[in-house]
Structure 1
């Protein structure tokens, strides 16, 4: 059966708002309290999905999780919010968060060619470091077990114990001669010595979480690398590895300050995958600050149907002079990345996630996936109509206390699930 890479994008939920909940995510913090535009955000996400589908790529979708989440607040004894208490208002914002749209954090995925039982394995991320995300994984597992219900081809695991923080595919890369060939899996973790950057930002990915996932997936230890992320990258705002590095098939595209031991990392990759091509962006050309602010590396590095590789980047990266200059020089060279494809995901970017954050990569035969989670242009048209009709146009921070908005957001998601025939996720 043909194995292809399917990008499953998270649709931006109708509760999308800017609460600044993600410590270490500079964009999220910088836009805290601003007015958000859930309808525009979701339509931008759908346009990105259509863009990739038009390129001839397989495209999937994950539905928003149920928000607001009263069970989260109830477990904290907050069925009623004291509006004079900022901490309680922040917890309410966590219960409203649409952060599950960033499906790069939904799970870690190892395709069938890499695993001992010949199945594609997915382990949901516990996301324990951030309260607004720690509530996601049970609903994420429900959706994964529905989309990948064929147990002959898939194994879906619960999250690893929450004593070890795991943030999913955002800290995992896979390199191989081709998507359907056995690969080398790269697990990137943060320092376990407490917080980074003078105690400001936490290291979210624990090494033991990564090692647990590798064992659960039945990976050959000789085909795994466990790599420490550079502390200075975390301190600068690279809260996940995918903010400073991305891989696709034989190519690793990385900032020179992504890893604690870059030269050792490159040597280990080449020793296990001799055909590896490593494209390093030097800090002298694009500073770590510009790389993080532009989300140059939070891009989709894709193998196009022509066989060449394309880099789907946010428009913010294309518009930054230092980044644009380096990309123009790269395209003029004879390197492995032959096309740069800017997309507008400004609403997601303002909340701290670029094109790579919005997708989970699954190498599988599309015929083995529940078809309700796969897209074509007609289904995208349906989704566009639902979002245009039901998603709120805007949400201000004070709106999160309005019952009428809560009812509207719940009804919008219900309309989407009905259109997708996914009522069991209600």
Structure 2
């Protein structure tokens, strides 16, 4: 089986409204001027880099923003433009939720259990409800439409509706999988929080994790539940993928990521003896440095020629403790053989690194061929996307611009141009 990464293309409404409680980067940069065009091109460059490494690459599309349909559910009436004008005049804070580009972080789109793990032999995707944050809770309907279209002709894939609120489920950002290969039976780790910590919410509920295990038909040998540590949440690790990432046999994690790491490590080794746990000690890299650098919110991938590569955000090079630890990691000749750095400054300033921007799905070659090819990236399509982004995406968005009808129209026009380029009807993914 192959692992395919589906990255979220950054939408034209990318801005710094600071809507995400517990996300320190988002709060720190709230009110700054964003650069949507640059953000989208940076994300596209990361997708190109994955293809250059010989890995299949897909994309998911930005959602319709401002979301007039959601504002209608809040009681506003009229045309899309009239609805947005009325919402902005009545409640700018509410309107900002409808304008968020947060669907770019497709690690929160769904939780994926590949078919080698499930008792029914199906690959299961459960769309995340993202119930803990208003601006994210509106994403599920459009996400489900995209995933349903993507896998419509793949008979062994099931796309499930979101779990009911209030049981918060934030998708693959709180889910890891270990296996001897992408196509082998694996061990899935569902990470949850234990309630508000230091004023920050625990976004992934234990009940949601338990429901996903049942829904995905995972035998007990293929599923583990683990609790994120209070220290990690309080430090700003709003998702598990800020302090841990897994790929095939490797769990790469901070020492303080989990509430009972010894029990978790023992359970992993019992069920998957081949597992290799690479733990970064707090004495070498503090939680603060790990979160500031997004060391663990990196893409850990298996290269076609063998060995693993860690794709990090450029910010990781700015933290001396992280640089020193990475040098020792590569010198150790372990499973992680090399590192690369990508410029993702615009996403990072809102709290999303390389791992946040992608959803991983393990598929057979025949399943890859059966996907809706409009969602798969090629070099030619990437060139066309870069040209379209340069022509249509706003260059900058300041906080006061969010209430400008000309900007709303620009965002709608940009997305319409994108749908047309990729061959989607105007209403197909709305």
TM-score by length of 1: 0.96
Q: Secondary structure at the match of 1:113?
A: coil
Alignment of 1:30-45 (within 5 A): 30-45=28-43
Q: Does 1:316 align with 2:290?
A: no
Equivalent in the alignment of 1:108: 111
Equivalent in the alignment of 2:210: 211
Q: Secondary structure at the match of 2:22?
A: coil
Match of 2:419 among 417, 420, 423: 417
Equivalent in the alignment of 2:68: 70
Is 5-14 or 319-328 further displaced after alignment?
319-328
Q: Does the C-alpha gap of structure 1 residues 377 and 151 become closer, same or farther in structure 2, counting only changes over 3 Å? A: closer
Alignment of 1:23-422 (within 5 A): 23-78=21-76, 79=83, 80-81=86-87, 83=89, 88-191=91-194, 194-197=195-198, 200-365=199-364, 366-422=368-424
Q: Secondary structure at the match of 2:207?
A: helix
CA distance in 2, matches of 1:48, 1:152: 30
Tell me by how many angstroms 1:21 deviates. Answer: 0.2
Q: Secondary structure at the match of 1:411?
A: helix
User: 1:153 touches 1:368 (CA, 8 Å); kept in 2?
Assistant: no
Q: Secondary structure at the match of 1:360?
A: strand
Q: Secondary structure at the match of 1:61?
A: strand
User: 1:106 touches 1:125 (CA, 8 Å); kept in 2?
Assistant: yes
Deviations along 1:94-122, one digit per CA (max 9) or x if unpaired, are: 10000000000000001111112222110
For structure 1, the residue ranges without an aligned partner over 5 or more in a row are none
Tell me by how many angstroms 1:151 deviates. Answer: 4.7
CA distance in 2, matches of 1:179, 1:213: 20
Tell me by how many angstroms 1:9 deviates. Answer: 0.1
Q: Secondary structure at the match of 2:322?
A: helix
Tell me by how many angstroms 1:82 deviates. Answer: 6.0
Q: Does the C-alpha gap of structure 1 residues 37 and 258 become closer, same or farther in structure 2, counting only changes over 3 Å? A: same
What RMSD in Å do the two structures reach over aligned CA positions? 1.1
Tell me by how many angstroms 1:277 deviates. Answer: 0.2
CA distance in 2, matches of 1:77, 1:284: 53
Tell me by how many angstroms 1:150 deviates. Answer: 2.4
For structure 2, the residue ranges without an aligned partner over 5 or more in a row are 77-82
User: 2:20 touches 2:27 (CA, 8 Å); kept in 1?
Assistant: yes
CA distance in 2, matches of 1:8, 1:246: 17
CA distance in 1, matches of 2:190, 2:147: 21
CA distance in 2, matches of 1:61, 1:151: 17
User: 1:19 touches 1:90 (CA, 8 Å); kept in 2?
Assistant: no
Deviations along 1:160-213, one digit per CA (max 9) or x if unpaired, are: 11120000000000000000001000000000xx3111xx10000001111111
CA distance in 2, matches of 1:66, 1:381: 23
CA distance in 1, matches of 2:104, 2:356: 8
User: 1:35 touches 1:396 (CA, 8 Å); kept in 2?
Assistant: yes
Tell me by how many angstroms 1:368 deviates. Answer: 2.6
CA distance in 2, matches of 1:302, 1:82: 43
User: 2:169 touches 2:208 (CA, 8 Å); kept in 1?
Assistant: yes
User: 2:29 touches 2:349 (CA, 8 Å); kept in 1?
Assistant: yes
Equivalent in the alignment of 2:80: none
CA distance in 1, matches of 2:370, 2:229: 38
CA distance in 1, matches of 2:19, 2:261: 31
CA distance in 1, matches of 2:166, 2:286: 34
CA distance in 2, matches of 1:321, 1:163: 41
